[in-house]
């Protein structure tokens, strides 16, 4: 087993949204991007099997959220490019990645990536409906707020 310092460096500090540590920035096709990230997850999860159970669950979820965030970044870059088949493939693998990352896990709140993922999910949802990415940050935040508020109203969380 690796030291906790190695685990911190490889699991809790990747910062997939800052640099291309997964070496996927040049990938334009969803399936190899997905597979590379899944393979990375499998390798890293094997490294943490001998730790405290609670820590293990949190660490595994953090890994999965980091790879989801990396995939989302590639999704934004590539899902609007190319043919309808390419768009469909990115959407299909995005759904697979959401399922793999298990976004509803309670342990997700311990990951620094979680808030970025929630924001990205809203952005992707807006993008998929409108097929355009909102460049202006203030307009994007307002649109995300409006969508989130509308969704919460539908669920009865806000009156």
Low pLDDT (below 50) residues in the chain: 1-5, 7, 12, 14-17
The pLDDT value recorded for residue 93 is 94
Task: Tell me the C-alpha distance between 70 and 40, whole Å.
Answer: 12
**C-alpha pair distances (Å), 86 with each of 23, 33, 66, 120:** 20, 13, 24, 20
What is the per-residue pLDDT across 83-123, written as a single tens digit (0 to 9) for each?
888 888 988 999 999 999 988 888 888 888 888 888 788 77
Q: What is the CA radius of gyration of the chain?
A: 17
> For 142, how many CA atoms within 13 A lie in the half-sphere containing its CB?
6
Q: Where are the alpha helices (DSSP H) in the chain?
A: 4-7, 30-47, 53-78, 84-101, 114-130, 137-155
């Amino acid at each position: 087993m690796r030291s906790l310092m190695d685990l911190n460096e490889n699991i809790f500090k990747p910062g997939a949204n800052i640099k291309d540590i997964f070496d996927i920035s040049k990938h334009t096709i969803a399936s190899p991007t997905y597979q590379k990230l899944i393979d990375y997850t499998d390798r890293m999860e094997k490294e943490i099997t001998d730790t405290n159970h609670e820590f293990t669950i949190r660490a595994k979820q953090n890994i999965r959220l980091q790879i989801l965030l990396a995939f989302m970044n590639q999704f934004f870059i590539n899902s609007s490019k190319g043919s309808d088949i390419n768009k469909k493939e990115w959407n299909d693998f995005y759904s697979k990645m959401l399922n793999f990352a298990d976004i509803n896990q309670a342990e997700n709140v311990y990951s620094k990536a979680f808030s970025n993922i929630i924001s990205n999910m809203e952005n992707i949802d807006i993008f998929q409906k409108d097929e355009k990415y909102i460049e202006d940050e203030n307009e994007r935040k307002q649109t995300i707020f409006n969508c989130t508020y509308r969704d919460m109203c539908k669920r009865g969380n806000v009156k």
